[in-house]
Amino acid sequence: MKIEVFFSPAGVDELNMRGRNVVIIDVLRASTTICTALRNGAREIIPVPDIENATKISANLSSDSRLLGGERQGKRIDGFDLGNSPLEYTPERVHNKTIIFTTTNGAGAMYKCRYAALALVGTFVNVSSIVKMIKEVGGTWTILCSGRQGAFSVEDATCAGMIISSVQQTIDVETDDAGMTAVILYRNYKRSILGMLKKAEHGKYLASIGFDEDLKFCAEVDSVPVIPVSDGVALRLKPSPAELREKSSKQISD
């Protein structure tokens, strides 16, 4: 199979991503927060690139079923219910809610993938689930790293490398210069993902504004084993095989 990697969404637009199978990575923190929110019972996440549109969409939804979440400069946006720390997205806060979600890098990258054939959200906390799905679907995949303000970020690239490296354990993977580099990065940092996050520019910034605990959470490989899948507007959990079986049996008995 083939996996190509974009190290940042700069120069990538909706049309580039149209019809592709894509994994969008924003380790610190949008991807991790989305996985956590969905695992904790959020109904769906709607990624929106800008605050103005997030607020507009939110105003059109019933106030008891929606939350506004996201950050600018890593901090909760004024008037929003939640920031971008996965630790805030507890079952108590998010159960059954639609979360309108805007962040500096990840939400914009996800928005650019709204015409993808299949768009998943990946990060360290759900990496094996993503790898399993890539292998099941096969074919050609694109990994879009959210990066940092249009530039490269080492944590997203390392996570891309972990995905490719894991797929390569059982399947031949053709990749590009960015994919080769991502694998080299992953091999370099695999003994300490947390150490890498602490060295990363954005990791250092988050620690400096008090989010050290987030780095630990974001470094926990496979701790939130879910697959957020986009329908072009919202991200929802991929139903588990058990849920699919239950649905299927209900249909038969109806």
Binding residues for a copy of itself (CB under 8 A): 5-8, 10-11, 148, 150-155, 157, 176-178, 180-181, 184-185, 188, 199-202
Q: Which is nearer to a copy of itself, 88 or 201 (CB)?
A: 201
Q: Which is nearer to a copy of itself, 66 or 202 (CB)?
A: 202
What is the C-alpha separation between 6 and 4, in angstroms, rounded?
7
What is the C-alpha separation between 67 and 57, in angstroms, rounded?
11
Specify whether the CB–CB gap between 206 and 224 falls below 8 A. Answer: no
Shortest distance (Å) from residue 189 CB to a copy of itself? 9
Shortest distance (Å) from residue 180 CB to a copy of itself? 6
Shortest distance (Å) from residue 12 CB to a copy of itself? 9
Shortest distance (Å) from residue 175 CB to a copy of itself? 10
Q: Which is nearer to a copy of itself, 29 or 148 (CB)?
A: 148
- Beta-carbon contacts of 59 under 8 Å, excluding residues fewer than 6 positions away, are none
For residue 242, give Cα distances in angstroms to 126, 171, 174.
19, 26, 33
Specify whether the CB–CB gap between 167 and 136 falls below 8 A. Answer: no
Q: Which is nearer to a copy of itself, 37 or 160 (CB)?
A: 160
